Chain A
Amino acid sequence: MRTRFIGLLMVFAVITTAACGNSDDDDAADSGSSDSSAPAETGDGEKVPVDQPGVTDDTIRVGGFASVTNILNGPYGSAFDGVDAYFDRVNDAGGMYGRKLELVARHDDAMGASQQKINELLTRDNVFAVLPVATLLFNGAQRLADERVPTFGWNIQKEWALGDNFFGDKGSYLCTDCADTFQVAIWMANQVDAKQMAVTAYSVDQSRECGEGLVKGIKTMDNTPELAFQDLSIEFGVRDLSTQVKRMKDKGVDFVATCMDQNGVVTLANEMRKQGLAVPMFLPNAYDQKFLAKQGDVLEGSFVLIEFTPFELPKDEKPKGLLEFEQTMKDAGKEDSINEIGLAGWLSADMFVKGLQGAGPNFTRDKVIESLNKIKDYTADGILPGIDWSIEHKKAAPLLCNAIVQVEEGGKLKPAFTEPGKPFICFKSGATAIPEEPAARK
């Protein structure tokens, strides 16, 4: 029973949930390099009667919920725009199996009411599938798992691993506190010749787990820098890290990995500049162009982790999927939603439509889920490094791939460590040593 009244005041639980928000993924990788995903935007197929919840003679009803109202001022409502833009394209081309795709419910869970919204979607809105989900908390997900409702959205919570009917934008399994998860960060530290690493995180769930993952990686894997400093119990909401930075300086830290929110990152960066500790930072959850544009000065030189193709790639290197997303959003007048969340909405719609295509004209919820779970390399036309839906509900992909951008002067972003046409660098799941070169590039 999330309560909506207190949403505002749920700072302790909620900001902190998002503190390491979009950091905890990384497991979106693939098992092979063949791109099996078919273009999805062609509405096709003959119409046959379908007896499924939310499917009428001329529409397929879906609905979703997002933390539109949230104290982080995050653009989570963008997810709806992504779905709308995608559906419009499909519907313009004739829809699916003679039916229009309709986003009938776009609920605002106000950060805390996901449980109620799930109930509303299933019992009142009468939807066939739930998309998009872009919330800070995902309480009540168990019910979606029990009823096996195809569910798509922005995955920052462990609940996405509850069932094989959940399809997150970066796979559905998160293991933030696994040692191998953040190989990329440690590898980057090696790349910049760092010898002494520091890890900082808040004491609260996701942030701390992210920090634990990093610490385990540095401690247990071979070919890593020293772990010179760690603090995984920084009190959330607290605005002074002078002692921590002083320690880092004393220990000669030359690379800082942090799992904190924007406030924490800025506090840390300010303190580092003040004490003259000019070393690169690794930020798993700072891919927010507006934030970086405003605060980029102090974060200059930092590395930002992304799970999809960066928007900053030169146009000729961008994959087809990303170009389509950007163009469609522009055409729909939704430039403001060209961000991680808007993309998560777009990917949700894309996966849903692919699932429908695979399920065939007399589709059911189960068929949609089954057909999606046969896709072994879902890349959404190059946007993602590739998700193997046959395994990535319950465990990490064999290859863990990410893109990296670096903050330049004035907060501009530049892809880093990439090769032309291959924005992602990948590491082996379960590796015990940091390789000299990434296990793969894509």
Chain B
Amino acid sequence: MSEFVSYVIEGIPYGCVFALVAIGLVLTYKTSGVFNLAFGAQAFVSAAIYYDTRSRNEWGILPAFLVAVVVAGPVVGLVLDRLVFRFLRTAPPIAKLVASLGLLVAIPELVRLWFGTNPAYNPPSIAPDHDRIYTFGDYELYQYELISVVVTVLVVLGLTALFRYTAIGLRMRAVVESPRMTELNGINADWVGSLGWILSSLFAGLAGVLLAPLFAQIRAEDYTLLLVAALAAAAFGKLTNIGLTFLGAIILGIAQQVAAGTLPTDSILATGLRPSLPFVMLFLLLLFWPGLRNQREAQDPLAGVDPPPRALDVAPSRGRTTRLVTVVAAVVAVVVGYAVLDAFWMHLVIQAMIMAVIFLSITVITGMGGMISLSQASFAAVGAFTTAQLVERFDVPVLLTILAGTVLAGIVGAILALPILRLGGIYLALATLAFGLMFDNIVAPLDWAGGGNYGALTVPRPEIGPIDLGEDPDFYLFTAVVLGLVVLAALLVRSGTVGRFLDALRGSEAAATSLGINPARIRVTAFGLSAAIAGLGGGLLATFNGSAQPSDFISTLGLFWVVIVVTMGDRTVLGALAAAAGFVLVPQWLSDWDFAPGWQYILFGLASLTFARHPEGIVEWTKRSLVRGVETVEALRALRAARAPAPATATGAPAATGADVASDAMAGKGER
């Protein structure tokens, strides 16, 4: 018992560390509706400014604190709101998530342009007598830790009071729930929304500076790691309740201490379990915490006043000729590539084609199924590990092992889907993220999975009968065929029953089920198919690389696969292909042109912000702009020829006359 008491006491200061980031997450969600994984990056901004002023320029504590937290925090929030999030106020959760992920990679790089990349060791605290130790019975705290604990408690009380008792707190909540309703009540939703961002960013700055002394140097990634570990606390608070979140964080802190004190550490499995504790807790919370169960997106009660959402999809049924032309063009492209690509580019193209296979799994689950899965990397890992293990242990031919990996990944995906499908939107994303993190920590290190202590598992290239695909050009053709088949499968599914049922479910779950569509069954199918495709890609990658390594498939990687695909366009095959090409080629070009790799993150992070306004994706948007451009030119020409004042609306040119959304959409359809 006394042991437990000691865990509790040790757990409280630690819980406050989790609380600072988890409350930040909740605060942002509550005031802006954004599940802000970039919170860690925001904290980093203030920590960097504090370090620069305090340590490098030797300012006093107060002025440095004022500049880093009180000024910089809100300014960052205001900028984010004005440039990004105010356009997303009524956007679906995936749009907000993608934007925050984009910022997560872009912000640290932008800061580093100024802050530099030299290590910033020994971060200063805001405590005047930093290292002074206070003793409470058997327990000691540094002054800076004590300050963190006190500030955390004050923040919890202050924020709770703000939301419960003040008008502005109520308004911030109201704006998140229904910006339209709030505006009807005469409140300026934009202004209140900005205020929300200012407040949460101020808090990010505070957390950044308070937590900095925990680390050996100032790095954005440390905050993000902490944030991911603290997700369970935010889930405990149902993403909205600050008091509960605080409690969840304390429980998490205590649980970590108990685990540290009691769990064995003598096997790979055991050593994987404890680091996964926060993710296991997150996963279980999502499944069983009553506040989160059955919680599909809360609907804006006034959403109905919006015009019906515009269809994003390209009409699947194109003309027979168009289809034929496309197929012929693709085949010609592959053959030309085979003939002209040198060894270097061929290698990159193969890699891009394999990535395209994996990315098509995202097209299936997110584009067609409307579900955000962040565990695609783990499914790919299942494919890769299965491929490698079967080859290594049972000497099965590689092609068969890849197939086995595909099937097994599909099964894993379908099984995972069963319990988590009732979660909607952001919660589904969180559950899959938790699954991926658990997979990374518990499964991937095992001997029979990722290979354990003894490094990468080797995988040979496949042989088809007498043909050995060891040489890149042969493997190139093989990959092209596989990719072609996967594309075909994706198209067949999209235009077939499964695809249309998914479309229907996404359009209106109530209506779809009222027709007799079993939502669980069709979603499990989609999940399984998507996981299988990812597994196939993982197996291909392993045989192409000659090895299957856990570090190729960590779940943070999967997070970015999703963002890239969604940014380029998750509804079309072309979007996935473009995403894969960009994923492989852009870094190469940047490096060829002597840009630091950091620019990739800036470029890519900022690109993902376009998703807010072009949810159809960059590819589709570009295509439409081109079509529109041509039509505008044609319309102008017709206009000039006729010398008539009325615009030629029949061509479907952009409606200068203010045609309503419906007819605009109609025109859009007509173009295809």
Q: Which residues of A pack against B, CB within 8 Å?
A: 1-15, 17, 68-69, 71-74, 107-108, 110, 112-113, 115-116, 119-120, 122-124, 137, 139-140, 142-143, 146, 158-159, 177, 203-205, 208-209, 212, 230-244, 246-247, 261-263, 265-267, 270, 274-276, 290-291, 294-295
Could you tell me the distance in whole angstroms from the C-beta of A266 to the nearest C-beta in chain B?
4
Q: B217, A239: Cβ atoms under 8 Å?
A: no
Q: Which residue of B lies closest to A232 (CB)?
A: B265
Q: B221, A9: Cβ atoms under 8 Å?
A: yes
Q: How far is the CA of A261 from the CA of B342 in the complex (A)?
A: 42
B440 on the A face (CB < 8 A) = yes
Q: How far is the CA of A110 from the CA of B601 in the complex (A)?
A: 11
B104 on the A face (CB < 8 A) = yes
Q: B117, A73: Cβ atoms under 8 Å?
A: yes
Indicate the member of A204, A243, A263 with the most B CB atoms within 10 Å. Answer: A243
Q: How far is the CA of A85 from the CA of B549 in the complex (A)?
A: 35
Q: Which A residues lie within 8 Å of B122 (CB)?
A: 294-295
Q: B229, A4: Cβ atoms under 8 Å?
A: no
Known: A204-B445, A205-B445, A233-B265. 6 other contacts (CB 8 A): A10-B556, A13-B550, A139-B549, A159-B456, A235-B275, A240-B10
Q: B560, A238: Cβ atoms under 8 Å?
A: no
Q: How far is the CA of A178 from the CA of B536 in the complex (A)?
A: 36
B105 on the A face (CB < 8 A) = yes
Stretch of B361-369, B417-425, B483-491, B540-548 on the interface side: B540-548
Given known A6-B556, A239-B17, A262-B216, contact A291–B272 (CB-CB < 8 A): no
Q: Which B residues lie within 8 Å of A159 (CB)?
A: 455-456
Kindly supply a per-residue 1/0 record for chain B positions 315-346, scoring 1 wherever the CB is within 8 Å of any chain A CB and 0 otherwise: 00000000000000000000000000011100
26 contacts between A and B (CB under 8 A): A1-B351, A1-B544, A9-B556, A10-B551, A12-B554, A68-B597, A73-B119, A116-B348, A123-B344, A124-B344, A142-B546, A209-B453, A233-B275, A235-B274, A235-B275, A235-B277, A238-B275, A239-B17, A240-B14, A240-B257, A247-B261, A262-B217, A263-B215, A263-B222, A291-B217, A295-B122
Could you tell me the distance in whole angstroms from the C-beta of B582 to the nearest C-beta in chain A?
9
Q: Which B residues lie within 8 Å of A110 (CB)?
A: 587, 597, 600
Chain B contact patch, size range? 35 or more
Q: Which B residues lie within 8 Å of A232 (CB)?
A: 265-266, 271
Q: Which residues of B pack against A, CB within 8 Å?
A: 6-7, 10, 13-14, 17, 104-105, 108-109, 117-122, 133, 140-142, 211, 214-217, 219-222, 224-226, 228-229, 253, 256-257, 260-261, 263, 265-266, 268, 270-275, 277-278, 342-344, 347-348, 351, 354-355, 437, 440-441, 445, 453-456, 458, 541, 544-547, 549-552, 554-557, 559-560, 564, 583-584, 587-588, 591, 596-598, 600-601, 604
Q: B598, A69: Cβ atoms under 8 Å?
A: yes
Contact of B274 among A140, A233, A275 (CB under 8 A): A233
Q: How far is the CA of A276 from the CA of B135 in the complex (A)?
A: 11
Indicate the member of B13, B219, B454 with the most A CB atoms within 10 Å. Answer: B219
Q: Which residue of B lies closest to A233 (CB)?
A: B271
Q: A237, B216: Cβ atoms under 8 Å?
A: no
Q: How far is the CA of A9 from the CA of B224 in the complex (A)?
A: 9
Q: Which B residues lie within 8 Å of A276 (CB)?
A: 140
Given known A13-B551, A243-B10, A266-B215, contact A3–B454 (CB-CB < 8 A): no
Given known A69-B596, A230-B265, contact A236–B224 (CB-CB < 8 A): no
Q: Which residue of A lies closest to B15 (CB)?
A: A240
Q: Which residue of A lies closest to B541 (CB)?
A: A1
Q: Which B residues lie within 8 Å of A139 (CB)?
A: 456, 545, 547, 549, 551-552
Q: Which A residues lie within 8 Å of B564 (CB)?
A: 5
Q: A9, B105: Cβ atoms under 8 Å?
A: yes
Q: How far is the CA of A263 from the CA of B550 in the complex (A)?
A: 23
